[in-house]
Amino acid sequence: MMSISMMTFLHPKVPRQQGFSLMELVVVMGLFGIIAAGGLVLISHLFKLEATVSSRFAAEDSIAMVKLALSDNTVCNHNLTLLTTASKILPTNLNGHSIALTKLEMPSGSGGTRVLILSVGQKVKDTLSVTRMSLTELRQVATSLTYLAKLKIVYTNQSKTYGSGTYVREIPIQLATNSSRIIQRCTTSSSQLL
């Protein structure tokens, strides 16, 4: 049998290490740095996504307001009869053309005050504004006195932090004219469109 002194010699006690080695600390710090950098990139993307979604919701809210206002035949007629010439007659051969709009408003009440619904240049949100409105894709339905079109509203988001973006929304419109091509009424309800 071996004596205890021989055992101690063959298997000396290694002193226990206290704390971490420099290499272990460097590796851990490197991992923390990688995780922190990834977290910052993720947070940056989340802020950009929130700004984009917020702008799109603002554009959708604006479109919902326009649809609601134009669903009233009086409002629709008031705004779209302003598109025609002074005699309120639509030009001939409108097929495929577009007509620019500068504003949509409620007709004046007894006090004569008009309430603005939407106008070109109007800010819908901090960085989101209306850059263009027009009736596009005008086309006559067969030989009838009815025209189909789309009210196209273009929004531009000019964020210094997250860049710019453009949102285009369209509302189907039906214009009914008399034999002299004067707009008599308009409809935005898709169930009433041909």
The torsion defined by the Cα of 55, 126, 80 and 95, in degrees rounded to 10, comes to: -50
> Within 13 Å, how many C-alpha atoms sit on residue 153's CB side?
29
Alpha helices in the chain (DSSP H): 4-10, 22-70, 73-81
Least confident of 50-54, 58-62, 113-117: 113-117
- Of 180, 162, 135, nearest in space to 45 by CA: 162
Banded pLDDT at 85 (limits 50, 70, 90): very low
pLDDT 10s digits, 86-108: 444 565 666 667 777 888 887 77
Mean pLDDT, residues 141-160 taken together: 82
At 57 the pLDDT is 87
Report the alpha-carbon distance of residue 31 to residue 23 in Å, rounded: 12
Pair 67, 175: CB distance under 8 Å: no
- pLDDT tens per residue across span 19-46: 788 899 999 999 999 999 999 999 988 8
Contact between 70 and 171 under an 8 Å Cβ cutoff? The reply is yes
Q: What is the pLDDT of residue 35?
A: 95
Position 70, amino acid: L
